[in-house]
Amino acid sequence: MAEPDEGFIPERDIINKRVLGQCPKCRHTELLWIERILIEGSLENYHLMHTEVDDVYECEKCKHSWKEFRFL
């Protein structure tokens, strides 16, 4: 995975959607999917090209937030 150049501002897609999962800190299962950050590729054309993103989540109970890497 390539690191972005210094000063590069990645494309972000604000989601703010409730999802089911598990908080790594308190194990609560209701999470807030906050945003998707583009690392490489295209959010609009992810089905046509290699795309890497970080999804940012926050626990509704303990407010812990974290990123999860994904290929689209």
Residue 56 lies in a domain: yes
Average pLDDT of adjacent 10-residue blocks, the chain of 72 residues: 61 92 96 95 87 96 96 92
pLDDT of residue 5: 58
Q: Structurally, how many domains does the chain consist of?
A: 1
Q: What is the CATH number of the domain that holds 46?
A: 2.20.25
Q: Which residues pair with 65 in a beta bridge?
A: 58
Residue 6 lies in a domain: no
Is 4 inside a domain boundary?
A: no
Contact 30, 20 (CB under 8 A): yes
Residue 5 lies in a domain: no
How far apart (Å, rounded) are the C-alpha atoms in residues 32 and 34?
6
Residue 7 lies in a domain: no
Query: 31 lies in a domain?
Result: yes
- Read off the pTM: 0.80
What is the domain range of residue 45? 12-71
